[in-house]
Amino acid sequence: MFIFFYLLYICLKLICIRVNSLCRPTAYRTSSNQLCSSKVFIQRDYSSGTICKFQTKFPSELESRIDEQQFEETIQTLNNLYAEAEKLGGKSYLEGCLASLTAYTIFLCMETHYEKVLKKIARYIKDQNEKIYAPRGLLLTDPIERGLRVVEITIFEDRSIGSGR
């Protein structure tokens, strides 16, 4: 008997949720004073080859939130940091040769150059979020969490009463 009512409750909840989610699948609907959010994805720029570089084109969804120049500066700095990580030069060749001589066991105790730069990038993104993006209701996600495919920017919108978008 109780199982029946429990399942009925679940079905009713499903129907309600389904009706509401049909309008904007990427938006989240809540029934209290919580934040709704949507996401914008900055894609990779492959014009210079397979190196990690993101497009600096300003998405229209952010027009009301942030300066175009500020956004471009953030993306350009990220691109420069990734270029530094993937740079082919004397230092990376030396690291590669030394590592191959030790059958790559040296990486058990040493961090690679790329990993060091990734930590730098994580700190930079955290810093940018704290100083610039969070006060404007935006959140940058580190591209490494998305497989270095996209820079995900979450746009938070404050809704005081739950209503459909």
Partner 1 sequence: MSAVMITRKVRKWEKLPGKNTFCCDGRVMMARQKGVFYLTLFLITGTCALFFAFECPYLAVHLCPAIPVFAVLLFLFVMAMLLRTSFSDPGVLPRALPEEATFIEMEIEAANGNVPAGQRPPPRIRNVQINNQIVKLKYCYTCKIFRPPRASHCSICDNCVDRFDHHCPWVGNCVGKRNYRYFYLFTLSLSLLTIYIFTFDIVHVVMRSMNGGFLNTLKETPGTVLEVLVCFFTLWSVVGLTGFHTYLISLNQTTNEDIKGSWSGKNRGQNPYSHKNIIKNCCEVLCGPTYPSVLDRRGLLQEDTLISSSNPVPQTTKTTAPLIPNEHTPDDAKPSIAASAEKSPSPKEEHPAATKVPPLASPETDAETSIAKERAH
For the bound state, the minimum distance from the C-beta of residue 39 to partner 1, rounded and expressed in Å, comes to 5
Please name the helix (run of DSSP H) or strand (run of DSSP E) that holds residue 46, with its range, or none: none
Which listed residue (33, 80, 144, 165) binds partner 1 by CB under 8 A? 144
Would you give the end-to-end CA distance of the chain in angstroms? 37
Degrees to nearest 5, angle at CA 149 with 77 and 27: 100
Chain residues 35-94 in contact with partner 1, contact rule CB under 8 A: 37, 39-41, 44, 46-50, 85-88, 92-93
What's the one-letter identity of residue 15? I
Half-sphere exposure of 90 (CA within 13 A, CB side): 0
Q: Rounded distance, CA 52 to CA 67, Å?
A: 24
Q: Under the criterion CB under 8 A, does residue 20 sit at the interface with partner 1?
A: yes
Would you say 66 or 139 has its CB closer to partner 1? 139
- Closest distance to partner 1 from the beta carbon of 123 (Å): 10
* 151: exposed, middle or buried (Cβ count in 10 Å: 0-12, 13-18, 19+): buried
Whether the CB-CB separation of 138 and 65 falls below 8 Å is answered with yes
Binding residue for partner 1, selected from 73, 81, 154, 159, defined by CB under 8 A: 154
- Catalog residues that contact partner 1 under the rule CB under 8 A: 2-3, 6, 10, 13-14, 17-18, 20-22, 25-26, 28-30, 34, 37, 39-41, 44, 46-50, 85-88, 92-93, 95-97, 99-100, 103-105, 107, 112-115, 118, 122, 125-126, 129, 139-142, 144-150, 152, 154
